[in-house]
Structure 1
Amino acid sequence: MGRPERPLDASNGPIAAFAHDLRALRSRAGNPSYRELARTALFAPSVLSSAASGHRLPTLAVTLAFVSACGGDRTVWERRWREIAGQAAITGETREERVPSLSPAHVAFDPAQVTHSMIHMTRPAQLPMGSSTFVGREQALGEAAGLIETASPVKTPLLISGPIGVGKTAFALRLAAEVGPAFPHGQLYADLGECGRESQSANSIVRGFLRALGVPTHLVPDDPMQRIGLYRSLLAQRKLFVLLANVRDESQVRPLLAHTAHSQVVVTSRARLLGLDDTRRIDLDVFTRAESIALIGRLAGAARVQSEYEACEAIAEICGDLPLAVNIAGRRIAARAEWSIAYTAGQLADHDRLMDALCVGDVNVRDRFAAAYQQLPTAGRQAVQQLGLTGSGWTTAIGIASTMGIPIEAADELLESLVDAGILQRATVAGRYSVSTLLGAFVADAHRDAGPAPVTLVDRRARRTVLEPVRRVPGTTSDIH
């Protein structure tokens, strides 16, 4: 037990009366020790003791931290502090010297008790630039905005999923622009697809978010769980839009999710992340043909599209109406005004050169498929090669089971894993899965340059992908459906 405090005479002036009442507030709270108060107030015990000593008026931050820790009314005490500070009329009496706030290394950290007075309110604006050529998706945008704007006690995370190149992040950015006024305290953004090492994943992202939200370095907890707790507490206090893009699996993103009354977390992922509880979902499909044509027109000019409408339709068909592929084709058309659209359609129609043609600058379709392919287990890679080389537009679990010599249950799980990898989509017919022309072009492109043994293939930009030899089953190629 600490030494008893020196008695105070409240009649000795407003500062003494202020300190006397702080002590009374502490007494009504059960008379916790100053060390116990420090765990919640985030100021050193000596600072809190000095606040109630009556020697000088404590700072407003210390006062509010003391009051909050004792369960007092912050508004009432802040009004009283300002009245006394005005009466003192001299800065030296309203400033407490040598009172640094307590580092989390010195006390048990309670992130839920961090107050606005200790954290400078900043408005982060971390979202990357959205697309000025965004088209379509009106129904999906309306549905997503409705889910976010629905009046409810908490805002649950929203997951936007879909296959490779379907435009999930572009959709999320357009959604953020539409619902932005509801989140005036700013936007946070992290691309989890770039988190290759554990040290770069959730804990590192949370640390960066806290700094962006104005949390001083000395108030960022060293303990990962406490750091995440503080992040969630700030989401609960503010109205923020948080976009977590290119998530690979549930464990990668789960620490960053929270149910809050004001902030909205949006996640984009190729995978459906079925392991996440209480998550609302928007599943994006490829463009409609009208949306594909509209995007080409937005990029290359509506007049050119109108004059060569059939060629534009042919390009959309070759691209499988995949937004990424259509976008690249439209940019190629726009870059060569002297070329007819039909000429570009002819280039894309050459199946042997399709992967090379679907490239503009540092954006290409080949790399997207290669990245997903390289993350698959051996069985998944073998299935991709079988699917790509048949040239069919669909497959079933029965066909894969027959071709690969595995049980139907295993084949079904394998195809579902390819859906989560963004490589396949479920077809409109139950039990069938769509196999895009682009997947076939990707696999064929790799095998054309591959020898009998596993080799490394190099494209024009020195990017690399590795395909294992296909295990062919004689007489079953046509049975993959």
Structure 2
Amino acid sequence: MEFGILGPLLVRDGAEVRVIPAAKQRILLAALLVRRGQLVPAEQLVETVWDDRPPRSAATTLRNYVMRLRKGLGNAGERIETRAGGYLITVEPGEFDADRLVALRDLGADALRQGAFERATTLLDEALGLWRGPALVDVPSDSVRRLEADRLAEARLDILESKLDAELHLGHHAALFAELRTLTATHPERERFWVQLMTALYRSGRQSEALAVYQQVRQILTKEIGVEPGTELRAVHQRILSADPSLDDPAPAQDTEEHGIGRPVSPTPFQLPPDLTDFTGRTAEVLDLTARLTTASRRSAVIAVVSGQPGVGKSALAGHVAHAARFSHPDGTLYADLRGTQREPASAHAVLGSFLLALGLPAHTIPADLDERTALYRSVLAGRQLLVVLDNARDSAQVRPLLPGDPANAALITSRARLSDLAGAHPVELDVMTEAEALLFLERVLGPARPAADPRATAELAAACGGLPLALRICAARLSARPSWTVRHLADRLTGERQLFDELSLGSLDVRASFAASYEALDPAAARAFRLLSLPGSATVRIETAARLLDQPVSHTERILERLVDAHLLRAEEPGSYRYDGLLHAFAREQSVLRGLEPERWHAPPRRTARHREPDGVLVC
């Protein structure tokens, strides 16, 4: 999804551009976009849409405009929410062109201050390329344009100034004459453009023309504006008169900043896997993580840990957020799959070696000792702005040597474990998808026609998958590969536990194998509890019941169950109550059957004397 105000109002859903022909609907959408993520009171929207001259029926008409706008925007219309007293529009990071403009402007300015002139030019050119014309040019509302268009026009001129400074540092002065003469003619009050024009002329051996330009701007400022030239203009005039060597053509830019240990920095690494084009939902988590990873001022490096059960979409979320946050980390992104669920996880020693090579260090300079590698790695990162993504971590010990120390850096970690002992980390626990998210995901992958042909079967399919993104992706991929299959056909194949996991497998995507990797990593007591507690039939069990089933004291049972909770194989509903998520319950029962503990042959431990079911289905002993 893309929303744009840097030119005519733009809403793009994939390859489709949504046209909004009605002027008042354009005003309404623009008013919401310039306050994106904020509740805009209905009274304020009425004043904006009708320029402070609303009709008596304005409140009713506004509701009709909102309804028509939602319909006209298609999928994007779902972003407009009705709240008590007003409306708001939700825009995810990277979707709004004005936000991208500001982010690129700030990154370009930072690169310019650091002497990274090639990078600054690239970033600022990208920012200027976002413009399609004057901001909000087709929105006939003075109040909306006053609020945003003037600010954006000023930002564009700031970007032009910074970009031209970078070009002059790179020695491109001869190519800038025409652009600078146009800018000084159209914006005579901006003295920086005059300074740049005088500098470009002087460096091209045209000293007399540079001095003539000073007289020209002085006359404009004194006669038309009533002020004398500013300090910078007067200073460059004096330097030209005295042939100050500091104005001479700079040496060709190397753009090889020195890091803290005196070795040249390599080209910016960008190691992220591709973002998912069909990424769906997770709005709260995306906003939370993106805000933390893009915060400019902080006292320590940001560390965020995304945890959750197998197949819940941790890696997909981290990748999506990292792509959205990359513009706030101009020195690059490092990525490593730590293979935490495999028998031989990646070692911190090996990962540090690959990171240091990616950062430009020759192999012979990388020490063999782990502590020395860690110290060198943090020295290289000092003073730079990098994002480090550590995917599939096994435990905190594996990731600690890989964490950056400089406050300008950030680390985003995914793990099936909570990593609660990782000091200073911000935890994000990822749950299965809601029903609405699951249905939207299926529609995005399959297209709207097949789910719409049988909404009930689609809902049953999503429910059978338990909202687990891995299971949903497998089903969507199988349906995509079998155009002759209906959604009903696959939904029917998912009924019954015995064949469920056989159906939820496609190539390297396998729900059973994903669950098994976590299950096989459990200690024997936790694995036994995981199996046994699934047998009574209810997905929920209380601690007293669990203690009797396991024939253990309550305190010891609680420690066992908390290990399952930490591994995200069991959920703590409330104190003393635990629950399996849907597919995990089925997997636990399958493991019990494989151990010969089939539910129909289950018998209570000897000391349990009675049992009954409460109305909520929770087994109580």
TM-score by length of 1: 0.68
- Alignment partner of 1:247 out of 382, 393, 407: 393
CA–CA separation in structure 1 for the residues paired with 2:436 and 2:341:
36
State the 1:445 CA deviation: 3.4
Secondary structure of 2:414's match?
strand
CA displacement at 1:276 relative to structure 2: 1.0
1:127 aligns with 2:272: yes
Provide the C-alpha distance between the structure 2 equivalents of 1:186 and 1:119, rounded to a whole number of angstroms: 15
Q: 2:350: which partner in 1?
A: 204
Runs (4 or more) in structure 1 with deviation over 3 Å come to 194-200, 443-452, 469-472, 474-481
Q: Match for 1:130: what amino acid?
A: D
Distance 1:131 1:433 in 2: 33
C-alpha distance 193-471 of structure 1, shift in aligned 2 (>3 A): farther
Question: Structure 1 residues 448 and 407, CA, compared in 2 at 3 Å: closer, same or farther?
Answer: closer
What is the CA distance between 1:121 and its match in structure 2? 2.0
Match of 1:337 among 474, 483, 493: 483
In structure 1, how many angstroms separate the alpha carbons of the residues matched to 2:400 and 2:594? 41
Unaligned stretches of 5+ in structure 2? 1-244, 246-258, 613-617
Q: State the partner residue of 1:306.
A: 452
For residues 272-320 of structure 1, what are the alpha-carbon distances to aligned partners after superposition, in whole Å with 9 as ceiling and x for unaligned? 1111111112111111110000111112221211221111111121221
What is residue 61 of structure 1 aligned with on the other side?
none
SS at match of 1:338: coil
Q: Residue 152 of structure 1 corresponds to which residue in structure 2? A: 298
The answer to whether the Cα contact below 8 Å between 1:391 and 1:440 also exists between their aligned partners in 2 is no
Q: Distance in 1 between matches of 2:305 and 2:532?
A: 31
Identify the structure with bigger relative contact order (alpha carbons < 8 Å, sequence gap 6+).
1
Counterpart secondary structure, 1:234: helix
Tell me: CA distance 1:252–1:218, structure 2 relative to 1, closer, same or farther (3 Å).
same
CA contact (8 A) 1:400 1:480 kept: no
- What runs of 5+ residues in structure 1 fail to find an aligned partner? 1-82, 84-111, 453-468
Query: Could you say what secondary structure the match of 2:374 adopts?
Result: helix
Give the Cα separation in 2 of the matches to 1:170 and 1:221.
34
Letter paired with 1:291: E
Tell me the distance in 2 between the aligned counterparts of 1:195 and 1:222.
26
1:123 and 1:426, CA in 2 relative to 1: closer, same or farther beyond 3 A? Answer: same
Deviations 1:91-113 (A, max 9, x none): xxxxxxxxxxxxxxxxxxxxx95
2:605 matched residue in structure 1: 473
For residue 327 of structure 1, report the CA deviation from its aligned partner. Answer: 1.6
Between the aligned residues of both structures, percent identity stands at 35
The counterpart of 2:383, out of the listed 216, 220, 237, is 237
Find the residue that maps to 2:302 and give its secondary structure: coil
- Residue 177 in structure 1 maps to residue 323 in structure 2: yes
Structure 1 CA distance for aligned equivalents of residues 308 and 345 of structure 2: 27
User: In structure 1, how many angstroms separate the alpha carbons of the residues matched to 2:518 and 2:611?
Assistant: 24
Name 1:266's counterpart in structure 2. 412
- Aligned residue number for residue 114 of structure 1: 261
For 1:470 and 1:205, the matched residues in 2 are separated by 47
Q: Kindly provide the CA deviation profile for residues 18-67 of structure 1, in whole angstroms up to 9, marking residues without a partner as x.
A: xxxxxxxxxxxxxxxxxxxxxxxxxxxxxxxxxxxxxxxxxxxxxxxxxx
In 2, the alpha carbon distance for the partners of 1:173 and 1:247 equals 15
**Equivalent residue number for residue 436 of structure 1:** 581
- What SS does the aligned partner of 1:389 have? coil
Q: What SS class does the counterpart of residue 605 from structure 2 fall into?
A: coil
Map 1:215-234; keep pairs closer than 5 Å.
215-234=361-380
Structure 2 match to 1:11? none
Aligned residue number for residue 439 of structure 2: 293
Go from structure 1 to structure 2 and tell me whether the alpha carbon gap of 1:114 and 1:148 turns closer, same or farther (over 3 Å shift): same
Q: CA deviation at 1:258?
A: 2.9
CA contact (8 A) 1:403 1:480 kept: no
Contact 2:292–2:302 (CA under 8 A) maintained in structure 1: no
Contact map agreement 1:347 1:354 (CA 8 A) in 2: yes
- Call closer, same or farther: CA 1:352–1:375 in 2, change over 3 Å: same
CA distance in 2, matches of 1:206, 1:335: 40
Q: Is the 8 A contact 2:335 2:388 kept in 1?
A: yes
Deviation at 1:189, TM superposition (A): 1.2
CA contact (8 A) 1:246 1:268 kept: yes
Could you tell me whether the CA contact under 8 Å between 1:289 and 1:321 is conserved in 2? yes
Match of residue 280, structure 1, among 423, 426, 438: 426
Q: 1:247 to 1:477 in 2, by over 3 A?
A: farther
Verify the 8 A CA contact 2:289 2:321 in the aligned structure 1. yes
Who is 2:225 aligned against? none
- In the aligned structure 2, how far is the partner of 1:379 from the partner of 1:264? 37
Matched AA of 2:576: G
Q: 1:446 to 1:404 in 2, by over 3 A?
A: closer
CA distance in 2, matches of 1:470, 1:375: 25
SS of 1:157's equivalent? strand
- Measure the CA separation in 1 of the matches of 2:365 and 2:383: 17
Q: Which SS does the other structure have where 1:246 is aligned? A: strand
Match of 1:321 in 2: 467
Write the letter of the residue equivalent to 1:350.
Answer: G
Secondary structure of the 2:372 match is helix
TM-score, scaled to structure 2: 0.53
Query: Partners of 1:347 and 1:199 in 2: how far apart?
Result: 35
Aligned to 2:120: none
Match of 1:139 among 262, 284, 296: 284
Distance 2:532 2:357 in 1: 48
Q: How far apart, in 2, do the equivalents of 1:448 and 1:395 lie?
A: 19
2:556 is matched with which residue: 399, 410, 434?
410
**1:401 matched to 2:547:** yes
**1:349 corresponds to which residue?**
495
What secondary structure sits across from 1:349 in the alignment? Answer: coil
